[in-house]
Amino acid sequence: MASRYTGLIDRYRDRLPIANETPAVALGEGGTPLIRLDNLARDIGFDGDLYVKYEGLNPSGSFKDRGMTMAVTSAVADGVDTIICASTGNTSASAAAYAARAGLTAFVLIPDGKIATGKLAQAMIQGARIVQIRGNFDDGMRLVKQVAETAPVTLVNSVNPFRLQGQKTAAFEICDELGRVPDYHALPVGNAGNISAHWLGYKELAAQPGTLTAENCNDHSYSVGGYDKRPTMLGFQSTGAAPFLRGAAVDEPDTVATAIRIGHPQSWNAAWAAHDESGGHFDELPDSEILHAQKQLATREGVFCEPASAASIAGVMRAIEKGRIEAGSTVVCTLTGHGLKDPDRAIEQGGGLAEIETLDATEAAVRKRIESGL
């Protein structure tokens, strides 16, 4: 049967709280590639199966689209015409895209100066009402919650329950594609909605019986389920913004990984439940280790993610080294956002360009570099 992929609501509607007759506000989100990292695994001497789920290939370049298609579809069904969010960047880019698609107005509150260039560009071109605040993400979050209590707007941060419902579908896709449940699933943790959503998805997969066959496993209407286990969940934060490692909120979070520069996570209890119920662990990494992992992924595997996303890989590399992940395990790391979101950081990591010389001198220099492999 020929079928055009239209997005995760159409694919998993029977497992989402959206009525059959409700039209999806969709941009073909979900269905992102699960890429096996053989080079990196070899580099670190890991003999298991190491994968990344490249969520940067969602329509607006981050996993936020999985939640936003659900939140905006539901808002439209309720007759809402304005949405609002606080954002470190990707939520605003996603909200702007889906609001544009549905003809809604989106208000996005961003911390002054700390938003990556690509994310700001997206929100701007897609017509969001951008409000810079004198404060960080946590201040913005407090503000939008207050406003949404009384103003006629729908809050589309991950405290909106439809967001996590949409995001849980990443777990469905992974098991659907692997034909089994990974042993470990690692994510960067900021507001902690995504790790909570994945745990929700994995729990549903283990709870509901279904039959996966070779015939129906690629059918987009197929409903997954019937798995006999759940993965161990691993959550990684930057040392400068690690409330889960401190066991308490952090007031002045700071990290180059701006997407996880959050000190007061909204899904605090749900993330601890994922940690406890799965027997997982949280860890913190210095920015230097996160940036190193970002570069390793790019240079060794050709996969470009933004800094926050690389926290999952950095954390897994450390867990393997410390023996916290056994040999032979299947490990999936979520790469939450695309590298082009933060081009400035990538250029910095690249180390700059050499001075421009005459064409003749350049030709000679290029020949010499080709010979030497540098």
Ligand X SMILES: *Cc1c(COP(=O)(O)O)cnc(C)c1O
Torsion of CA 312, 265, 55, 148, to 10 degrees: -170
**Residues between 341 and 360 that touch ligand X (CB under 6 A):** none
CB neighbours of residue 128 within 10 Å: 25
Q: Per rule CB under 6 A, is residue 90 in the interface with ligand X? A: yes
How many Cβ atoms are within 10 Å of 95's Cβ, its own excluded? 30
Residue 312 in the binding site for ligand X (CB under 6 A): no
349 sits in which H/E element: helix 343-350
- 271 in Cβ contact with 304 (< 8 Å): no
C-alpha separations of 342 from 238, 296, 345 in Å: 17, 17, 6
Please report how close the Cβ of residue 47 comes to ligand X at its closest, in angstroms.
28
User: Which stretch of DSSP H or E encloses residue 281?
Assistant: strand 281-285
Q: How far is the CB of 56 from ligand X (least distance, A)?
A: 8
CA separation for the pair 224, 222 (Å, rounded): 6
**85 by DSSP, 3-state: which?**
strand
The smaller minimum CB distance to ligand X, of residues 73 and 336, is found at: 336
Q: Is 336 in the site for ligand X (CB under 6 A)?
A: yes
Binding mask of the shown chain, residues 36 to 65, with x at each position contacting ligand X by CB under 6 A: --------------------------x-x-
Residue with smaller CB distance to ligand X, 165 or 191: 191
Question: Which is nearer to ligand X, 39 or 268 (by Cβ)?
Answer: 268
- Interaction residues for ligand X, span 236-265 (CB under 6 A): 259-260
Token match 């009402």: residue? 129
Number of residues that bind ligand X (CB under 6 A): 18
User: Which residues in 141-200 contact ligand X (CB under 6 A)?
Assistant: 158, 188-194
* Cα distance between the two ends of the chain: 50
Q: Name the β-bridge partners of 233.
A: 185
Among the listed residues 50, 104, 110, 308, the single contact to ligand X using CB under 6 A: 308
Q: Judged by CB, which is closer to ligand X: 154, or 196?
A: 196
Mark the segment that binds ligand X (CB under 6 A) among 246-254, 288-296, 305-313, 345-353.
305-313
Residues in touch with ligand X (CB under 6 A): 62, 64, 90, 158, 188-194, 259-260, 306, 308-309, 336-337
